[in-house]
A and B are shown apart, each in its own frame.
Chain A
Amino acid sequence: MTELLVAMQVLLAKYSLVTAFAVVGAMVWFSYLISDRLTRGRLHGSAIAILLGLLLAYVGGLLTGGKKGIADVEVLSGIGVMGGAMLRDLAIVATAFGVRMEEFRKTGISGIVSLLAGVIVSFIVGVCVAYAFGYRDAASLTTIGGGAATYIVGPVTGTALGVESEVIALSVAAGLIKSMLVMIMTPFVAPYIGLDNPRSALIFGGLMGTTSGVAGGLAVTDPELVPYGAMTATFYTGLGCLLGPSIIFLVVRTVV
């Protein structure tokens, strides 16, 4: 019996990336089910799935004492490949496909202003908080600033700048908290910030930037506003990935 188990382990480790696809697929399915049944779609499935991923990474750390989360469990090592910088960057760049230049122009000046303001303010807030918590190297500061932008901008920035995994994990967690808060709080604050027309939805999307958060939050507020907010939000991560590890890092390095 144990022999069979060991043989299974070897087999799964050999097919590690395929095992990862199956496991992550099951996790995503489960998360969307929870989102649907327990939160009636209020909390988007993607946010629950990422939270589940972070939890699993925590458990992996406890089990193995390693630094790569659940990917340190040999059978699940493929998750590290699937979520590694290579495939992740490929998928992120792929999301830019289909974005039309005219659509960007349609968002107009207020869209562009809100995008720039959103990205820069997020970085400033994240960098300040990280600084307050004792981080002093420009790469880590910028990475956590990126996390305050979105849970993608943080890791992309961190990988490009070569920071430690724990800083990247912090940036993912910060971005995830942002995304979940935007999803949950938007309907409640909408009346106070004038979020009731396409123009303000567009600005809202550019300022928040987290596509899932913006789409989820606006869907509960007023479904008709979703495309406006989502339109600017989709540019946000790209802009953050462009500015974060370049201009913003250089600025942070000069200041610190």
Chain B
Amino acid sequence: MAIYGTALLSGCLIAGVVAGQMLGYLVGVDKNIGGVGIAMLLLIPGSDWLQRSGRMQPPTKQGILFWSSIYIPIVVAMAASQNVLAAVKGGPIALIAGVSVVLISFILVPVISRIGQPDAESVQSESLSVKDEP
């Protein structure tokens, strides 16, 4: 049943947030430290194991997949409910942060490509098709 999947997902999130809050308490800040990340680290091996051992029925998966498929709409709703007016008054900080991080990351691509150089096979599959734009 779909609710099993949603319950698994919710359980992971709650456990993650609780762990994050406890972690925050341990290091002396009243904040949720990395809860969402911890929840993902619980869900990935958990669902992997359930699928491998054949314990996850398709409807159960649907209970998780639905939430991941409406992730972008939820982000749109999140964007629409922020204090953008105040942020715009805050000046060009977002623009400058966005532009500089992209430029620096572009520069890093060839730098990191040189580290741990190639297994020859990965270079083979170069494609020649340039024309077909999606």
Chain A interface residues toward B at CB < 8 A = 20-21, 24-25, 27-28, 40-41, 46, 49-50, 52-58, 60-62, 67-71, 79-80, 82-84, 87-101, 108-110, 113-114, 117-118, 121-122, 125-126, 129-130, 133, 139, 144, 147-149, 151-152, 155-156, 159-162, 164-178, 181-182, 185, 189, 193-200, 203-204, 207-208, 219-220, 222-225, 238-239, 241-246, 249-250, 253
Contact = CB atoms under 8 A, between A and B. Distances in A.
Contact of B84 (A46, A58, A207): A58
19 contacts: A27-B80, A53-B77, A68-B82, A80-B77, A82-B73, A83-B79, A83-B80, A93-B13, A101-B48, A148-B97, A160-B34, A170-B90, A174-B98, A193-B106, A194-B110, A223-B132, A242-B37, A242-B38, A245-B32
A133 B75 contact: no
Given A170-B90, A193-B106, A250-B27, A242 B41 contact: yes
A148 to B, nearest CB: 4
Contact of B72 (A28, A117, A176, A178): A28
Most buried by A among B85, B90, B108, B123: B85
B66 to A, nearest CB: 8
Contacts of B71: 91-92, 94-95
Contacts of A87: 74
Given A50-B76, A207-B108, A83 B126 contact: no
Nearest to A200: B113
A224 B122 CA distance: 13
Contacts of B35: 89, 160, 245
Given A27-B76, A56-B80, 20 more contacts: A41-B133, A41-B134, A49-B72, A49-B76, A58-B88, A67-B86, A69-B83, A89-B36, A101-B48, A110-B116, A114-B112, A117-B108, A151-B79, A168-B82, A173-B98, A197-B125, A200-B113, A207-B105, A241-B37, A242-B38
Contacts of B83: 57, 61, 67-69, 164-166, 168-169
Main secondary structure of the interface of A (DSSP, over half): helix
Contact of A129 (B96, B102, B133): B96
Given A147-B97, A223-B134, A241-B40, A57 B80 contact: yes
Interface residues of B, number: 85
Given A94-B64, A97-B9, A199-B118, A245 B33 contact: yes
Main secondary structure of the interface of B (DSSP, over half): helix
Those 7 A-B pairs whose CB atoms lie nearest each other, nearest first: A242-B37, A177-B98, A61-B85, A83-B77, A53-B79, A83-B78, A173-B94
B78 A113 contact: no
Contacts of B34: 160, 241-246
Contact of B87 (A71, A166, A250): A166
Given A82-B77, A160-B20, A193-B110, A172 B82 contact: yes
A87 B66 CA distance: 12
